[in-house]
Amino acid sequence: MFTTQSNYAWIIDSNRQNRTVAKIGPWNAPSHLVTLMEASNAGLEFRIVSDDKVIHEGRILGIFAGDEPFHDLNFVDGIDTIEYKNTSGYWEAIN
């Protein structure tokens, strides 16, 4: 069976201070991106918010549209939100 590899990888950090990795995705993430993210702070920071509470924080790297971690983790549009940290250091919702 042939499986297509994704063009991105994301990491959910369980501890923001020391970047302890809690979850890596998607299931078909390229190993070189995962390795790079585990060894450094590489990647664009994102967070998933529900009811004005931060549920997950993490980083994403590769070629992506923006909402991949949100959908990979089965969050619902209109109820939950994914936000990315912009170049000024502020969070911006994309959905």
pLDDT in tens, 23-76: 899 999 999 999 999 888 899 999 988 888 888 889 999 999 988 998 898 887
Cα–Cα dist 54/37, whole Å: 21
* pTM (predicted TM-score): 0.84
Q: Are 57 and 46 in contact (CB under 8 A)?
A: yes
Residue 39, CA distances (Å) to 3, 30, 34, 94 in order = 26, 15, 9, 28
Q: Mean pLDDT throughout 6-34?
A: 84
- The domain locations on the chain are 8-93
What is the band of 19 on the pLDDT scale with cuts at 50, 70, 90?
A: low
